[in-house]
Structure 1
Amino acid sequence: MNEKSEEFFRIMLDFLPSAEDEYRESIEYYGEVLETIIIERVFMPKIIKLLSEERNINLLESIFKYFEEVSNDEDAHLKNIFSITVLEILGNDRSILETAQKYMGTRTIQLQIEADRALGRI
C-alpha cells in the first residue's frame, strides 16, 4: 500500500470512527490491508447508510469534499482504487447516486460517470 492510500484510510477512519474495529478485524483476518476489501466492506456500507438517511449533512459534505481532493490527486493508484470501489458502488443504486451527486464536486462526478461507463452502465 502506498503513502497516499495509507493517508486515505487514516482520513476515512477520522470521518468514520465507528469503522475502526471492522478495519482492524479485516487486517487481522487477511493478514494485510486489502484496499478494495476494506473500502467495499467497511467504509462504503457506512457511507451508503449516511446517504440513505441524509441526516448528517456536515459529515457528508466533509467526506465528499475529501473525495473531490482524491479525484483531483495525481496518484494514479489512489484514483484507480477510489474509482473501482467508491464510485462504482455509488453507481450501483440510482437513488443513492442521486443523493451523492448533491455533495460531489465536478471532478468526482466526472470520475463517477467514467466508472459507470467502464462497467457498461449509462
Structure 2
Amino acid sequence: MTGAGIWMPRWGIGAALAVSVALGPAALAHNNPQIKETLLQTVTVEAAAEPASSEPFDLSPPPRTVEMVWKIEGDKADAVRFSVEADGKTVATDVHHGKVTPRIKAGQYRLVDITGASAPLKIGVFANVMEKK
C-alpha cells in the first residue's frame, strides 16, 4: 500500500522508469510524427510606401501540410508585420518573422498591411509537412 491507501506493487514505478530510460525517446516515437519544413515560395514586395501590399500569388502546399511558417529575409526582419489575405479575405493578422499559422487553403493569396519594411522585401512562405511513415 502507498500512503494514500492505493495499492501498487513496489516494482511498478521502478520497472516503468527502467523501461523508459532503456528505450528513451524511441519508445514514444510512433506517436510523434516527423515534420519537414518545405519552402513553397518567396514573395517579393516593392515596399515604396506603408502600408505596402504584395501582388496576388498562388501557393500549392503539398499533401499533409499541417501549418505554414512565414520568414522575412533581410535587415530589420523583426520589425516587419503584415496580414495575409486568402481569396480576398483577411485570414491572419500580426504575422511576423517566424510566425506559424494554420494551413491556409485558398486559390489566391496576398500579403497586405505590410509595415516596418525596407524595399525590396522578401518573405519566404514555408509549409510544415507531416512525413509519411
Could you tell me the TM-score, scaled by structure 2's length?
0.24
Q: Which has the higher helix share?
A: 1
Could you tell me the TM-score, scaled by structure 1's length?
0.26
Higher relative contact order (CA 8 A, sep 6+): 2
